[in-house]
Amino acid sequence: MNFPLYIAKRYIFSSSKNNAINIINRIASMGIIVGTMALFVVLSVFSGLKVFSLSFTNEIDPDLKLTSTYGKSFVITPEQQAQIKKIDGVASYTKIIEERVLFLFKDKQQVTYLKGVDSLYPVVNDIKKKLFNGQWLKPDSFQVVIGYGLAQNFSMGILDFENPLQVFAPKSGKGAIENPEEAFNKTDVLPVGIYSISEDLDSKYVFADLGLVQELLMYKPNQISGIEFKLKENADEGAIKAQLNSIFKNKITLKNRAQLNESLYKMLNTENIAVYLIFTLVIIVALFNLIGALIMMILEKKGNLKTLFNLGTDITDLRKIFLLQGTLLSVFGGLIGLALGIILVILQQKFELIMITPTLAYPVVFTIENVLIVMTTIISLGFVASLIASSRVSKKLLD
């Protein structure tokens, strides 16, 4: 039998004759339990907020996006398209053109992105689910789908045949502009749908037919600015990227969803780390109670320790008793706190106890990663606190 572990377990489950020590032990245990529960709940909340925040961009961003490294556009050949279709792991792909243009409606104007898409765009991106009003555009038409933010800015509805939305795109070329009217290609389009995703994205894109945008920008029929991919579940992204680079002879830039929203991911991860560190500091403060409780226990058991020492027990083994006692208290307290935290998270998911708005519950996500982070943190800090307290056991103290 492990002698220090046996004594440590006896000390954990037995009450002290000194009532003050029992109170300190309860306070230390409660500090560990509450600290663990709070850390897990907060990490789960931030995981939920991360998923909630990214859900907006996920509606409009593809799994993988291909653009040219050496210019705004490139020409895709039928052979290259045939090779793309043979790539294992690609569920579907869509050709796009993105260009900043000027939009005019009555006496109002705004510069934003015109995004030309083909008929497969709704297959790659679930944009139709975000239509606030109207319908998705038809291929080979002058129809467009605008964002809710742009519709508000222009005070514009859909199917307004008397007041078309005007699009001005700069003509490509060199030299000074002599006649401003000849510097732009112009066309009238008809809004047939309004999408609503988030405040930022609702004013970013106006969707139009790919052919219409190619004509407006004076592109060739096979000239595009990018390709967006929808990948199959568990597809090997690295292998797909390698094949695409081979097809386009390493003249392309490939970005996945995280890379397309790099600043957003960095912000969310930074916030998560900051909150984790703050609550870890709270746990460290709570573990001072554990150090105090162990030191009080050492002083109370001084007579017993002296007897064990005289019987031949090493100082190292005596220290192990309190090291194991503190570590076990941290483990038990962490497990109880974690169980309470999991219950709170599940209750929030099932019954929406806390609401952000009358219709939106506070998002929480249960992940094994958060469980491991919390338990690793509690056990590690508990071990360090126990190590500090157990170092008080020395030959000088027993003498």
Q: Does residue 42 surpass a pLDDT of 60? A: yes
Mean pLDDT over 126-147 rounds to 93
C-beta neighbour count of 259 within 10 angstroms: 12
Q: Does residue 109 surpass a pLDDT of 80? A: yes
Tell me: the pLDDT tens digits for 8-32? 888 888 877 778 778 888 999 999 9
Cα–Cα distance list, 11 to 26, 162, 311 (Å): 13, 86, 19
Distance between CA atoms of residues 252 and 66, nearest Å = 7
Tell me: the pLDDT tens digits for 260-286? 999 989 999 999 999 999 999 999 998
Pairing outcome for strands 143-147 and 90-105: unpaired
Mean pLDDT over 144-170 rounds to 93
Q: Does residue 176 surpass a pLDDT of 60? A: no
The amino acid sitting at 294 is L
Which of the four pLDDT bands, split at 50, 70 and 90, describes residue 386? very high
Distance between CA atoms of residues 152 and 154, nearest Å = 5
Cα–Cα distance list, 14 to 94, 283, 372, 382 (Å): 69, 25, 30, 20
Q: Does residue 180 surpass a pLDDT of 90? A: no
Indicate the average pLDDT of the chain.
Answer: 92
Mean pLDDT over 341-348 rounds to 97
C-beta neighbour count of 12 within 10 angstroms: 16
Total count of residues recorded for the chain: 399
Q: For residue 378, what are its two tokens?
A: 């509690």
Q: For residue 24, what are its two tokens?
A: 């300190």
Cα–Cα distance list, 236 to 26, 54, 364, 368 (Å): 51, 22, 29, 23
Which of the four pLDDT bands, split at 50, 70 and 90, describes residue 76? very high
CB neighbour list of residue 155: distance below 8 Å, 6 or more residues apart: 108
**71, 63, 57, 64: which is closest to 204 by C-alpha?**
57
User: What is residue 174's predicted lDDT score, i.e. its pLDDT?
Assistant: 63
User: What is residue 1's predicted lDDT score, i.e. its pLDDT?
Assistant: 47
Contact 95, 118 (CB under 8 A): yes
Tell me: the pLDDT tens digits for 216-239? 999 999 999 999 999 999 999 999
The answer to whether the Cα torsion of 116, 255, 128, 358 is positive or negative is negative
Does the reported pTM lie above 0.75? yes
Mean pLDDT over 122-127 rounds to 91
Mean pLDDT over 45-52 rounds to 92
User: What is residue 53's predicted lDDT score, i.e. its pLDDT?
Assistant: 84
Cα–Cα distance list, 331 to 336, 341, 381 (Å): 9, 15, 11
Distance between CA atoms of residues 275 and 277, nearest Å = 5
User: What is residue 225's predicted lDDT score, i.e. its pLDDT?
Assistant: 97
